[in-house]
Amino acid sequence: MELLKDKVAVVVGAGQAPGATIGNGRATAMLFARHGARVLAVDRDLESARQTAELIGKEGGVALACAADVTDESSLVDMTAAALSHFGRIDVLHNNVGVAGGSGDRPVEEITEDAFDLLCAVNLRGMAMTCKHVLPVMRRQQSGVVLNVASTATTALYPNVAYKATKMGVLGLTQHIATSYAADGIRSNAILPGLIDTPMAIETRMRLTGKSREQIVAERNATVPLRGRMGTSWDVANAALFLASDMAGFITGVNLPVDGGALARVGP
């Protein structure tokens, strides 16, 4: 069953940093394509976006790589134009962008102004700007789905200020779109990954702490209620597929955790 047959999906952050596992954006782009979507694979690193598009092509899917930097609004104008030029429409906008501790995030008394501004520009303003340029397309179509990747850090204990604050802002952005564009047939939902085994999560921590992959994986696994293991990028991609599809056609404005039950144990 092709849940996204004849749909066009723009996946922002479809590339990934080097690592032992696949990232959330690449997995989502590939899964969308497996379910019939034509995919614009967008990333600041064009070569990484091309690798994602090539993986989709090898599986018989249709994908085009596109370079765009969410901190540069003009590149998002070009991204939107590229989607329309090649595919004629945009049915799904999947915002999978974010930086965290590896970009200087710290507790509030320690963070620098430059680091705070960087996380705001990428994690929150960047998502708002992609929406700014894609939503008019969806409004003309009177249909569309916006998916914003936030984090369980919005609710769970988290040591650093800018990632938590910007990802909470993503929830506000998502709700704003859901309520403001519902009459146009546009749905907007947020995905909140918990502990996921991705290069951004694991390899970054290896670099910052000097610990081995095995150490970091074991520490993170031990905190997950469901089967005592982290999720994978395919878990996040499956949630995105559901929310992007007509199966979720009456769902908008929700924040969906993909966290193995971690938030279920958060209490007063």
Structural domain contains residue 217: no
Structural domain contains residue 58: yes
What are φ and ψ of residue 259, in 5° steps? -145, 10
Q: Encode pLDDT of 104-122 as tens digits.
A: 999 999 999 999 999 999 9
Number of structural domains the chain divides into: 1
Tell me how far apart the alpha carbons of residues 79 and 63 are, in angstroms, rounded to a whole number: 14
CA atoms within 13 A on the CB side of 190: 26
pLDDT recorded at residue 268: 46
Structural domain contains residue 258: no
What are φ and ψ of residue 67, in 5° steps? -90, 130
pLDDT recorded at residue 78: 98
Q: Is the pTM of this model over 0.85?
A: yes
pLDDT recorded at residue 162: 97
Structural domain contains residue 134: yes
Structural domain contains residue 130: yes
Query: How do the pLDDT tens digits run along the chain, 268 residues long?
Result: 899 999 999 999 999 989 999 999 999 999 999 999 999 999 999 999 999 999 999 999 999 999 999 999 999 999 999 999 999 999 999 999 999 878 899 999 999 999 999 999 999 999 999 999 999 999 999 999 999 999 999 999 899 999 999 999 999 999 999 999 999 999 999 999 999 999 989 998 999 899 999 999 999 999 999 999 999 999 999 999 999 999 999 999 999 999 999 999 765 4
H or E stretch including 30?
helix 24-34
What's the distance, CA 36 to chain centroid?
A: 20
Residues contacting 133, CB < 8 A, separation 6+: 73, 76, 77, 79, 80
Tell me how far apart the alpha carbons of residues 244 and 247 are, in angstroms, rounded to a whole number: 8
CA atoms within 13 A on the CB side of 162: 26
Tell me how far apart the alpha carbons of residues 158 and 103 are, in angstroms, rounded to a whole number: 16
Q: Can you give the CATH number for the domain in which 34 is found?
A: 3.40.50.720
Does residue 140 contact residue 98 with C-beta atoms inside 8 Å?
no
Does residue 102 contact residue 163 with C-beta atoms inside 8 Å?
no
Structural domain contains residue 203: no
Structural domain contains residue 205: no
pLDDT recorded at residue 159: 93
Q: Encode pLDDT of 28-67 as tens digits.
A: 999 999 999 999 999 999 999 999 999 999 999 999 999 9
pLDDT recorded at residue 265: 79
Structural domain contains residue 257: no
Active site residues: 163
pLDDT recorded at residue 204: 87
Which residues constitute the domain of residue 83? Answer: 8-195+233-250
End-to-end CA distance of the chain: 43
Which SS3 state, helix, strand or coil, does residue 12 take? strand
